[in-house]
Structure 1
Amino acid sequence: MTLLRDMCYPTPSELALAARALADEHPGPVRLRQAGTSRGGLPLWLLSVGPSGRPRGAGVLVVAGAHANEPVGGATALALARRVLHDPALRAGRGWHFLLCADPDGAALHRTPRPHSLLDYHRNFFRPPGPEQPEWAPSLLPPDQLPPETLALTALIDELRPVLQVSLHGTDLGGSWVQLTRDIPGLAEPFAKSAAELRIPVETGASDAAGWPSPGPGIFVMPQPGADPGGAFHPEDTRLSTWYHAHRYAGTTAIVEVPMWASDLVDDPAPHPDPRGALRILAGRLDADAALVARVRDRVPEPAAAADAAALLRAVDWTLALIPRITVEWTGSGAPAEATAASIGSIDAFGRRLSLRAAAMLLRVLRAQGHPAAPGLDRLVTGWCEEFAARFRARRIPVATQVEHQTRTVLAAYERLVTEGLDGPDGPDGPERMDGPGGAGRLDEPDGTVSA
């Protein structure tokens, strides 16, 4: 694929064109249709591979682009679609469905198709605030305020009732890990093998999954509904996200993370000598860095009509508002007395990226306004990017390598769900799959296809 050879992340429009070409080339097993519309009026495209007319609950839903700043998922979705198309065993009796970009509005603002450095990546960075993220919105908003992207995604889950939902994510710098809404026994071995072969470190102490059970290195099982949410450093409750929506149909969700730049520091199992002391230092640095950004933010007037600037500033304000709550968590009574070097390294990276992202998005607004504070903030962003890369000895992971690792991990998760019979005692269409809203129709009917 040219986009992969050129080390370029595909845009939503490029994904749609490639998917349309695949559907035109294979009009029987491949279908493309619009599954919804974004807040900005952009189409949400669903690519389906496999038999049409199959009873619901027999297949897989792969979600790409849920976070605008994690663009690898779309390329992986296309690679997976081609792999499934040419492997009869994978699509025998089961449909695979690929939501090519869950947030095209966000993707249009995060304009880094070919980043060669962390600074290059942050020059046009955008990550929307939590309530505007399709997967996270249900954990932060009442049902009557959910964005259309979230409603389209949950409607897909209701209609397809997938045995496996996969959400393809990425991190700027670190390692690879997998989060599961239910354990998939046996997944740790092929996941670790793929990572080792491709020279991608396994993030054994991912800050996103702090306090969660880990059945194997880099594999984390999320809290179950009704259980304590654990110690993750986030305001969102994963149990209210769209990831758990598949549970009403006995489905399982896997979130597959892969880094753009790798660091072996997040794969160090050695005990850290003083986790609480380290967290106090990290919290102090994060507070100080956030204060630098906040002082500049206070000097920026609200944009009168610039939609892009308004979106960027909402994201800046959301990020800055998170930081005091996070530093309290790091320095409170719940801070771990024992932790690995990998865990502290992951938290260190998490803190660095929070203040850096806020500064990078604010810088975009300052530049557009010709604000006199732009040069100073530019120097700050440049310095933080250089320090981040140097501290973690960052090395770039080619796009094709990221895609291959995600593809292998998705197929391994699917194979273990099927071979172990974890999709229900009576198979994927067994009686344990409950009826739900929107379940009367099927998205894979041929009369629902439209042109991109």
Structure 2
Amino acid sequence: MTLLRDMCYPTPSELALAARTLADEHPGHARLRRTGTSRGGRPLWLLSVEPSGRPLGAGVLVVAGAHANEPVGGATALALARRVLHDPTTRAGRGWHFVLCADPDGAALHRTPRPHSLLEYHRNFFRPPGPEQPEWAPSLLPPDRLPPETLALTALIDELRPFLQVSLHGTDLGGTWVQLTRDIPGLAEPFAKSAAELRIPVETGASDAAGWPSPGPGIFVMPQPGADAAGAFHPEDTRLSTWYRAHRYAGTTAIVEVPMWASDLVDDPAPHPDPRGALRLLAGRLAADAALVARVRDRVGGAPEPGAAPGTAPGPDPGSQAGTDPGAAALLRAVDWTLALIPRITVEWTGAGAPAEATAAAITSIDAFGRRLSLRAAAMLLRVLRAQGHPAAPGLDRLVTGWCEEFAARFQARRIPVTAQVEHQSRTVLAAYERLVAAAGAKGTDGADGADGAVSA
């Protein structure tokens, strides 16, 4: 694929064009269909690779582009589709379905097709607030206010009843890890082998999965419905996300994370000498950095969504407060969402629930998480200020530049080629698939649960 050889992340339109070409080249096994429309009127595309005849069991649903700032998933989805098309064994009896981009509106605002540095990546950064993210929206909004992207995704899950759902994610700087809604025994070994071969560190203490069981390095199992969800430093409840919807059909969801820039500091298993002291320092720095951004935000004037707070539904774009540019309004909503999260996070880091014991890797991961929060808010705000010619733009530009340089230096960042990111995600998805199929076979089933055609995982 030329896009990968050129080290470039494909856009949603490029993904759709490549998928259309695949469908035209393999009319007996591949098809492309529109499954919905985004809030901005953009198409939501599903590429399906199916066996000849009636499928023998439930299939696989792969979701790319759920987070606008994590663009590798679309390239991985296409690479996987090609592998499945050329491997009759993998597609035998099961359908593979690929959501090419779950949030095309967000992808249109995050314009970093070929970032060569963290600064370049953040120059055109965008990540929507939680209620506007397709997978997270159900954990933050009532059912009657879910965005169309979420409704399209949940309808697909209900239609396909996948025995394996995979969500392809990425991180700016760090390592690779996998989050599972149920354990997949045996996944840790091929996952670690792939990461080692491709020189991608395994993030053994991912802040996204703080406090979750870990059956192997970089593998984390999410809290089950009814269990205590405490531990993760996020406002969303993973159990209410679209990841758990596959459980209605006895399915399992895997979230595969891969870094754009690697840091070998995120897999250090040594005990940290003073986790609570370190968290107090990180909380203080995060609060101070956020205050710098908030002071500039106050100079812009007007909140893009009056009275909004984390957990509220997105409203119409207020042109009076962001010019007439809906992109500026979306950026400001994301800035405000991010800044509103930070006080809650610093309280958690310094509260009684802060861990008394933790690995060096876990504290390092939390350090990176805190840095990216304030940096992302500043980067998105800078985009608005530049477009407006605001006098505060040069000062904020210097702040963003300095933070990017400090982030890269602190974590000894090294770039991971797009090809390696795609290869690692692809291998991990196939390993998860193979182990679930083998487990179903060991139970003496064809992978279906009879009553509803779902696989018991």
The two structures have a TM-score, normalised by structure 2, of: 0.91
User: How much does 1:107 deviate?
Assistant: 0.0
User: How much does 1:426 deviate?
Assistant: 4.4
User: How much does 1:51 deviate?
Assistant: 2.4
User: How much does 1:421 deviate?
Assistant: 7.2
Contact 1:210 1:233 in 2 (8 A): yes
Contact 1:56 1:160 in 2 (8 A): no
Contact 1:271 1:338 in 2 (8 A): yes
User: How much does 1:429 deviate?
Assistant: 5.9
Deviations 1:382-436, CA, capped at 9 Å, x for gaps: 0000000000000000000000000000000000000677996747965xxxxxx
Secondary structure, aligned partner of 1:299:
helix
Counterpart-to-counterpart distance in 2, 1:370 and 1:319: 23
Structure 1 residues 2 and 229: alpha-carbon distance in aligned structure 2, compared to 1, 3 A threshold: same
How many residues align structurally?
430
Counterpart-to-counterpart distance in 1, 2:25 and 2:444: 34
User: How much does 1:255 deviate?
Assistant: 0.1
User: How much does 1:19 deviate?
Assistant: 0.2
Contact 2:57 2:448 in 1 (8 A): no
The two structures have a TM-score, normalised by structure 1, of: 0.92
User: How much does 1:304 deviate?
Assistant: 17
Deviations 1:303-358, CA, capped at 9 Å, x for gaps: 9999xx00000000000000000000000000001100000000000000000000
Contact 2:57 2:446 in 1 (8 A): no
- My pick for the range that moved more, 89-98 or 51-60, is 51-60
Counterpart-to-counterpart distance in 1, 2:448 and 2:85: 27
Counterpart-to-counterpart distance in 1, 2:337 and 2:446: 38
Contact 1:52 1:95 in 2 (8 A): no
Contact 2:125 2:380 in 1 (8 A): yes
Counterpart-to-counterpart distance in 2, 1:38 and 1:161: 22
Structure 1 residues 87 and 250: alpha-carbon distance in aligned structure 2, compared to 1, 3 A threshold: same
User: How much does 1:230 deviate?
Assistant: 2.6
Corresponding residue for residue 451 of structure 2: 428
Contact 1:67 1:106 in 2 (8 A): yes
Corresponding residue for residue 323 of structure 2: none
Contact 1:122 1:357 in 2 (8 A): yes
Gaps of 5+ in 1: 431-450
Secondary structure, aligned partner of 2:179:
strand
Structure 1 residues 334 and 174: alpha-carbon distance in aligned structure 2, compared to 1, 3 A threshold: same
User: How much does 1:302 deviate?
Assistant: 8.9
User: How much does 1:113 deviate?
Assistant: 0.2
Structure 1 residues 328 and 56: alpha-carbon distance in aligned structure 2, compared to 1, 3 A threshold: farther
Contact 1:251 1:423 in 2 (8 A): no
User: How much does 1:50 deviate?
Assistant: 1.4
Secondary structure, aligned partner of 1:214:
coil
Counterpart-to-counterpart distance in 1, 2:71 and 2:52: 29
Contact 1:271 1:341 in 2 (8 A): yes
Question: Identity rate of aligned residues, in percent?
Answer: 92
Counterpart-to-counterpart distance in 2, 1:230 and 1:417: 28
User: How much does 1:147 deviate?
Assistant: 0.1
Gaps of 5+ in 2: 310-327
Contact 1:56 1:162 in 2 (8 A): no
Corresponding residue for residue 181 of structure 1: 181
Deviations 1:28-65, CA, capped at 9 Å, x for gaps: 10000001100000000000001266459621000000
Contact 1:51 1:94 in 2 (8 A): yes
Contact 1:48 1:96 in 2 (8 A): yes
Counterpart-to-counterpart distance in 2, 1:154 and 1:280: 40
Counterpart-to-counterpart distance in 2, 1:168 and 1:101: 10
